[in-house]
Structure 1
Amino acid sequence: MTTRYKVAAVQAAPCFLDLDAGIAKAVRYIEEAAAEGAKLVAFSETWLPGYPNYIWLGPVAWQMQFVGRYFDNSIVAGSPQEAILAAACRKNRIQLSIGVSERDGGSLYIAQWHFDENGTVINRRRKLKPTGVERSVFGEGDGSDLRVVDTSLGKIGQLACWEHFQPLSKYAMYAQNEQVHIAAWPNLALYEGTAFALGHQVNNGATRQYAVEGGCFVLGPCALVTKEVQDTVCQGDPEKEKLCPLGGGYTKIYAPDGQEIGTSLPHDQEGIVYAEIDLHMIGYAKAAADPAGHYAKRDSTRLLINRQRQRPVHDFDVADRWERVEEPAPQEPKAKTPRHADTSV
């Protein structure tokens, strides 16, 4: 297993509502990161086909103009578009974590896909609980998605956006001895200056806290809003533009001790943030506090996880096996002892 290597977190605007263009742009960033020597590259939440900022900007009736296009440009597992990403990873010998709007049947999910350097998808996960009005667009994940995967680069896990404010979900990941974590965020310009909890100070604080609590390296890729994206979702409305300003890319990489490492970019500039990481640093961080190891208090608090994939329909024979109750075997009745009998020996 490689323990020292370069990682890359992409800060770029998506090709909003254009899946094929977004795939092509992602491939360019994959190639650029690999050319710079990175072994892992990470993209932001729903980078394909872009985060739907419009859901925060107006009533549902107004949003309907985007619904069809967003659905049609969401990616499907096993599709030709996925094959292009897989080929880029294989050609450039690089692992990829990318945030997508995943289309499955008639539903969409905020998902993160992890490709290894051979182009194989080694993890597909869905955001457990879409945040706020995201629930009007996306379905939910389940406990089977709280996974950390073993790779040639160590144990790598993923969560999206405000999943980093869910203590139990985080703890489930820490307990799997995660070494590198992808904290995928959308652009952090939305409601900037009017809702502090949605701003970069709080959200980057959550990313940094994850690194310290989990004793792991954390990549926090973040998209940004360009004039093109703003014009599409705000349609020249100055009030909407105040709620969805330009920029918002606050991509960071943190070490297990919480310090920011690597390069940096202005919040309105596209590019890649790089950092050199050394997994041996994790031992130093966890010597002080391993939250699911020696620093856990198992006799006081524990976490229960349902890791079963939740499905709305099961085959009849499967459901029948679940619902059938085995009848206890008949037993011979015990002989009754007379009430006043002498049973002494």
Structure 2
Amino acid sequence: MRDLPRFTAAAVQSAPVYLDPAATVDKAVTLIGEAAAHGARLIVFPEVFVPGYPYWNWTMNPVQGSPWFERLWHASIEVPGPYVDTLREAARQHAVTVVIGVNERVSHSLGVLYNTLLTLGPEGDLLGVHRKLVPTWAEKLTWTGGDGSSLQVHQTPVGPLGVLACGENTNTLARFSLLAQGELVHASAYIALPVAPDDYDMADAIAVRTAAHSFEGKVFSVVACSTISPEIVDTIAGDDQDARRMLARPRSALSGVFGPDGRPVTDPLIDDEGIVYADIDLNRCIQPKQMHDIVGHYNRFDVFRLHVDTTPRPPVTFVTDQHDAAVEGDAPSMEES
């Protein structure tokens, strides 16, 4: 009889060393070591942990925020690159699978930054580079959207692993595309969002989204959210008392692990820094799938059909001969049902 993986997962709830990629990567390496020492084999970090989230998009107008975009560009990292190599070595040294969010800059444009999730394997390999498909609301002032080429489930020692960033976890089709590739472990990375509308509870919103995906897909979800440090408040708000009060709003972060029944495996962590540990047994996904398998018997593929285009979308394609032109015209796509 084939048993599915059993392991300990760690959801890291922490603040970056704001806009300092070197110090933040060092902090991540320390947290990887701490989680691994507690037996974790999967360690999930927050969205854009390296080197932080552009809160100025919410507290300033676009003209005021423009110099901050430049500052973030200088603090963003290349993928691959030396900071990624440091994180890969930490994963290899501790033999763990790591998911971590970064601000990624690219060589072809000074105006392009990506909200990127890296998936690192226990041998130090870079398994996945997922660029957030649609920046949410004010985030469009900072990030360019990714393409479908990174919407992949990776085979890892902890099971088939998929990742999405923050608001992507409200995108039903993106979530379904991962489930249809056999996802059993879902890593979702968030940022603390105290700048939301008054009637919006970020902690509740994270819990609802995470429970929904776990229950609908009969999977385990590991959700990691950043926190707001005094350093972030001082950097962004300065003497602006309204902004300081906004950034100090409670219930802006939640991290934890949810099971295939949609319930937390252990108590989530709200607002405070820390690491949530939980034991995961993927065999617990089997019996719930017998009841509701939305990528199998509990669907009507003669009625519903999802087409996912995984073609990479570079800004330019140079065609050098007729053979290349023919190949270009036959760009591959993935169809998920």
Fold similarity call, TM over 0.5 = yes
The Cα offsets for residues 196-225 of structure 1, whole Å up to 9 and x where unpaired, read as 1x6221232011101111111001100110
The residue aligned with 2:334 is: none
How many residues matched? Answer: 322
TM-fit CA distance, 1:99 = 0.7
**Mapped contact 2:153–2:162 kept (Cα < 8 A):** yes
The Cα offsets for residues 250-298 of structure 1, whole Å up to 9 and x where unpaired, read as 1121001111013543x33211000000010010121110111111111
TM-fit CA distance, 1:188 = 3.3
Q: 1:195 to 1:63 in 2, by over 3 A?
A: farther
Which residue identity lines up with residue 64 of structure 2 in the other structure?
A: W
The residue aligned with 2:74 is: 72
Where does the alignment leave 5 or more consecutive residues of structure 1 unmatched?
326-345
The residue aligned with 1:148 is: 153
**Mapped contact 1:230–1:246 kept (Cα < 8 A):** no
Q: RMSD value over aligned CA atoms?
A: 1.8
The residue aligned with 1:174 is: 179
The residue aligned with 1:254 is: 258
Partner SS for 1:269: coil
* Aligned-partner Cα distance in 2 for 1:91–1:43: 18
* Aligned-partner Cα distance in 1 for 2:55–2:317: 36
**Mapped contact 1:189–1:224 kept (Cα < 8 A):** no
* Aligned-partner Cα distance in 1 for 2:266–2:94: 22
TM-score, L = length of structure 2 = 0.91
* Aligned-partner Cα distance in 1 for 2:165–2:150: 12
Which residue identity lines up with residue 75 of structure 2 in the other structure?
A: N
The residue aligned with 1:216 is: 219
TM-fit CA distance, 1:152 = 1.5
Q: 1:250 to 1:323 in 2, by over 3 A?
A: closer
* Aligned-partner Cα distance in 1 for 2:122–2:199: 40
Among residues 297, 301, 307, which one is paired with 1:294 in the alignment? 297
Among residues 157, 164, 172, which one is paired with 2:162 in the alignment? 157
TM-fit CA distance, 1:242 = 3.1
**Mapped contact 2:202–2:253 kept (Cα < 8 A):** no
Single out whichever of 246-255 and 229-238 deviates more from structure 2: 246-255
Q: 1:24 to 1:299 in 2, by over 3 A?
A: same
Among residues 50, 53, 56, which one is paired with 2:52 in the alignment? 50
Q: 1:263 to 1:323 in 2, by over 3 A?
A: closer
Q: 1:28 to 1:324 in 2, by over 3 A?
A: closer
The residue aligned with 1:206 is: 209
* Aligned-partner Cα distance in 2 for 1:79–1:249: 30
* Aligned-partner Cα distance in 2 for 1:22–1:221: 16
**Mapped contact 2:97–2:156 kept (Cα < 8 A):** no
Q: 1:268 to 1:305 in 2, by over 3 A?
A: closer
TM-fit CA distance, 1:103 = 0.9
1:177-192 superposed matches below 5 A: 177-191=182-196
**Mapped contact 1:188–1:199 kept (Cα < 8 A):** yes
* Aligned-partner Cα distance in 2 for 1:117–1:169: 26
The residue aligned with 1:280 is: 283
TM-fit CA distance, 1:246 = 5.3
TM-fit CA distance, 1:234 = 1.1
1:22 aligns with 2:24: yes
Single out whichever of 98-107 and 121-130 deviates more from structure 2: 98-107
Among residues 229, 236, 259, which one is paired with 1:226 in the alignment? 229
Among residues 75, 86, 89, which one is paired with 1:87 in the alignment? 89
What fraction of aligned residue pairs are identical, expressed as a percent? 32
The Cα offsets for residues 128-153 of structure 1, whole Å up to 9 and x where unpaired, read as 11111111111111111211011121
Partner SS for 1:280: helix
Q: 1:257 to 1:324 in 2, by over 3 A?
A: closer
* Aligned-partner Cα distance in 2 for 1:115–1:323: 30
Higher CA-based Rg: 1
* Aligned-partner Cα distance in 2 for 1:79–1:262: 36
The residue aligned with 2:335 is: none
Q: 1:324 to 1:300 in 2, by over 3 A?
A: closer
Q: 1:188 to 1:208 in 2, by over 3 A?
A: farther
The Cα offsets for residues 232-257 of structure 1, whole Å up to 9 and x where unpaired, read as 11112122123322563311210011
* Aligned-partner Cα distance in 2 for 1:235–1:87: 37
The Cα offsets for residues 61-113 of structure 1, whole Å up to 9 and x where unpaired, read as 11123122211111111211111111111111111000111111221100100
Which residue identity lines up with residue 53 of structure 2 in the other structure?
A: Y
